[in-house]
Every structure is written in C-alpha cells, then in structure tokens.
Amino acid sequence: MKLRIFCLVAFSMLMGVISAQKLTLNKRVGANWKSSEVSMKNKPNGIIYRLREDIQCDDLPRVPEVENLIVMIAEPIDLGWLALYRLPLSDSKYNFVVVLYNHDKKPTQTINLCDISNNRYCEVQDVRWDGENQFLMFNMACPSYASEVKGKGSKLHCYDVAKKRMVWETDWLTSNDIFTFDDQFVYCSYGFTNEKDYLFMLDKFTGKVYSKIPMTKKVEYMELNFKDDKKQLYVVDYDNHLFIYDVVGGSLNAVPKMFTVVYATSSDGFLNLRESPSTSSKILGRLNSKSHDLGNGVLLQNGEQWSRVRIGNTEGYVYTKYMGKQTWFDGKGASVLVARDNINVYSEDFSDSGRMPVFTTLKAGTVIADRFSDEGEYYRLVTGHDCLFVKKSDVVVNKKL
C-alpha cells in the first residue's frame, strides 16, 4: 500500500513538472505594436514570404548534389557555414539539400532532407541549426491546403548530424512557415487561411508537445525576447497582430549550467564586447576567433539576438549571430566534473614558463566537462586541439547527469 501511494505521489509530481512547461498569454498588443518591439531578425526577407531566405555568403562551393539547385539560406554556424539548396520555386517537383561547410568554406557533409524525412511532396519552409547539440531542425510543410496531401504534411523534424539519425519528428500539421528554439524548447505553428491555426511549444530533445494554443489567424513570425527576468515569445499573425507569451518553466539563469567557451565567427575575426545589448553601446573589449582551437570568452547567457559573455574579468554583450560555441560538457562521458565552489579554470602557457594563467572563474554547481584526464594535481579538460585545467580539489566527480 505504501509503495502504491509513493508511486502515485511520484507520478503526480512528475505530471506537475510536465504540465508546468507551457506558454501563457501575457499581452495581446494588436496591430498597433511598434517596430522597435519586434526585430524581424528571424526572417530578414520579410513576414509574409513563407520560406526564410537569408544569403549571407555567395561564394560557397557547390557539391555535385546541388549543381542544379538554387541557394536559399547561407548563414554562419559554429562549425563554419550552413547552406540550404532547392529546386527553383517554379519547379513542380521538390528537392531540398543542406550542405555544411567548415570555416574555410570546404564542404564537410551533405544532407538530403527529402531522403532523411522520406518526403518529396512537401516544401521545406524553415531550417534551423542547434550547434550545441549538433541538431539540424527543419519542417516539411504543405505548400497549400492540408487536404491536398490528405493531411500528411507540415511535420517538424530534428536530425542529429553527428550520429546521422533522426532524433524525433512531430505529428502532421504541426509546423509550417517559421519556427525558432532555445536551450530547452522549440516554438512552431501551423495554419493556412481557413484551416485551424495553432501555436506549439515542444521539448527540444523529444518533440513532446507542452502547449498547443488555438490562434484566430495563421502565425507569420515569431522571436524570443528576455524582459524583466522573463523569457517571452513574441508572435505576429496574418492580420499583423502581436501577441506576447510568457515561457513558463523555462530557465533564465545568469550562470550557465554547463561551461561553454565562445568565440567570434565573423569574417573580420572578432566581435565587439559591448556594455549593453545595442550597437550604439560602449565597446568594452573584443571576442576573438579561435586560437589553438579555443575561444577567449565564456558564455553567461545565450540570447536570440545578443548574448552575455565574460572575457577575462569583463562582462558584456556580443551579437549572437556571429558567436560560435564549444561546450566542455558534451554528453559522451560516463561522469562529469562539477565545480565545488567558486573556482578558477586555468589555460596552458605556451611560453613554456610553467605558468598556468587563470582563463576564467566558475560558480559552484557549474558542470565543467565530461572528457578529462588525470594530470596529478589537476584534471586536464580536452576539446578539439586544445585544453584547460582545473584543480582536483576544486571539483567533484559525479556520475553522468
């Protein structure tokens, strides 16, 4: 009897945690919203046109699989570049191919989205790259009414590029047009003129639906913003009405759970570190590109447009679009290092003087790494071609979280 009661209590607690993850309407602004409230950064070619077009590089080399295709997206990512190619809009058939490039613009992987989704009758309307998890997310959407494909369209897919497998896919009629995501959730929508319109919030790692909100009109645009210590989703519908939703259950911590090094991916090799999230704000320093395969900043708060980072002892904001990330906790080890208290992280001194200068400081409870080796007084953290060090006395070795 006691076991049964315990199980019921545990189940109720679990359901309470699950139900706590949701979108709640904070404000309906209507059509009188100011342009300063919404940046439009997620759809640089405008609100209405359904396929996001964002060509930031026009000299990426072609691979044989895309010789007869046109480029729709060419944007910087942590690995280098991502490009989406498709048949011309006038073509009656569909073919969508993503090519990943390194920082030298050399192609490293070609992914045919039609093949991995087993769908050649729907149109890709948005593609998003999650560099922290090596996820490629894309939708295969109805180009017209759902009835024309018997309801089998507008599905969102999450593909693990490193493992070359589909992580999850949603039910039909879940995602057309634009979608976006953060460290925990994916936000998407479905709608088409007189069909039923919905806004969704999904678990980024499982695709589980946390919120399904009816909309009076189709969603045309969405972006995440942080205001008054709240994470909020700004949504613009077909009638140009703005809705602001609070993301309930989402974390917004000043200190990252995981230790993440950041670096510039811009063509000039650096990003300005600014006092506040604005291009007119005072410049405090620079975030440089990788040196010895290591960035020179530490991520404090990842944002949609601006991210808060620390370089040495200086904290400020850099433009997220040109910021790359490498997380020392990469999920492949059997155990993790966790900061015992406020600790120092040391970098190698390449002058052979024997000094190990402080790279950064981390607060108690920060997950540091799960790939490390014993170096006597220190644990050596390894990623890419470079390494950092922490004192053994400063950390606790826990089994994988």
Q: What is the pLDDT of residue 6?
A: 38
Q: Which domain holds residue 305?
A: 260-327
Radius of gyration of the chain (CA): 22
- Number of domains comprising the chain: 3
Examine the domain organization and report whether 38 and 168 are in the same domain: yes
- Domain membership of residue 9 (yes or no) is no
Q: Does one domain contain both 98 and 183? A: yes
pLDDT of residue 387: 82
Looking at the fold, whether 227 and 173 belong to one and the same domain comes out as yes
User: What DSSP letter does each residue of 356-389 carry, written as one string?
Assistant: --EEEEE-TT-EEES-EEEETTEEEEEETTEEEE
N- to C-terminal Cα separation, the chain: 31
What is the structure's pLDDT at 101? 95
Burial class (CB in 10 A: 0-12, 13-18, 19+), 203: middle
235 Cβ contact list (under 8 Å, min separation 6):
189, 199, 219, 221, 222, 242, 243, 244, 245
Per-residue pLDDT 10s for the chain (401 aa) are 444 543 443 434 334 444 478 999 999 998 888 777 888 888 887 776 778 888 999 999 999 999 999 999 999 887 889 999 999 988 989 999 999 999 889 999 999 999 999 999 999 999 999 887 789 999 999 888 899 899 999 999 999 998 899 999 999 999 999 999 987 899 999 998 789 999 999 998 889 999 999 999 999 999 988 776 578 999 999 999 999 999 988 554 434 678 899 999 999 999 999 998 889 999 999 999 988 778 889 998 888 889 999 998 788 999 999 999 988 887 777 788 888 777 889 887 654 555 678 888 887 778 888 888 888 899 998 776 678 899 998 888 886 55
Q: Please check whether residues 36 and 139 belong to one and the same domain.
A: yes
Residues 163 and 223 occupy one common structural domain? yes
User: Looking at the structure, do residues 179 and 312 belong to the same domain, yes or no?
Assistant: no
**What is the residue whose two structure tokens read 């704000």?**
281
Looking at the structure, do residues 395 and 279 belong to the same domain, yes or no? no
pLDDT number for residue 169: 97
User: Which residue matches tokens 């993301």?
Assistant: 247
**pLDDT at site 385:** 63
Same domain, 48 and 87: yes
For residue 93, the model assigns a pLDDT of: 92
79 and 162 share one domain: yes
Tell me if 253 is assigned to some domain.
no
CATH of the domain at 301: 2.30.30.40
User: What residues pair up with 388 in beta bridges, in sequence order?
Assistant: 347, 381
Cβ–Cβ under 8 Å, residues 258 and 366 = yes
- In terms of domains, do 319 and 369 share one? no
Please indicate, yes or no, whether residues 280 and 368 belong to a single structural domain of this protein: no
Asked if the structure places residue 138 within a domain, the reply is yes
Q: Which of 327, 352, 380 is the last residue before a domain boundary? A: 327
- Considering the domain architecture, whether residues 295 and 376 belong to the same structural domain is answered as no
Q: Is residue 158 part of a domain?
A: yes
Q: Is residue 310 part of a domain?
A: yes
CA distance 230 to 96: 37
> What pLDDT is recorded for position 249?
80
CA-to-CA distance for 380 and 393, rounded, in angstroms?
13
In a domain, 114, yes or no: yes
Distance from C-alpha of 143 to C-alpha of 155, rounded to nearest angstrom: 12
